[in-house]
Amino acid sequence: MSIPVITLLTLVLCAGILIGGLLAVLLDNIVSAVISAGLSSLFASVVYVVLAAPDVAMTEASIGSGLTTMIFLYAIRKTRNGD
């Protein structure tokens, strides 16, 4: 009994999402946690591509992974500088 390649790839990517989410919660460094959450969102985007939903994948990659991560990093930088 063999597992199809698409199923195996989806399971590996979903494991990456879980690991990224756990790292985002467990890391002490806030910048590393934000980057880990962005990476988790990027894995979700790739899962959407594998599952044949490219429109959802593009939205997740641009807003979920890119824009949200940049906004969090900008906010962290602004609050640490005391501006």
Domain assignment present for residue 76? The answer is: yes
The total domain count for the chain is: 1
Domain assignment present for residue 50? The answer is: yes
User: Domain range holding 54?
Assistant: 28-83
Domain assignment present for residue 57? The answer is: yes
Domain assignment present for residue 5? The answer is: no
Q: Is the pLDDT of residue 52 over 60?
A: yes
Domain assignment present for residue 6? The answer is: no
Question: CB–CB of 45/59 below 8 Å?
Answer: no
pTM greater than the 0.85 cutoff: no
67 to 28, 37, 58: CA distances (angstroms): 23, 12, 12
Domain assignment present for residue 14? The answer is: no
Q: Give 11-33 pLDDT, tens digit per residue.
A: 999 999 999 999 999 999 999 99
Domain assignment present for residue 4? The answer is: no
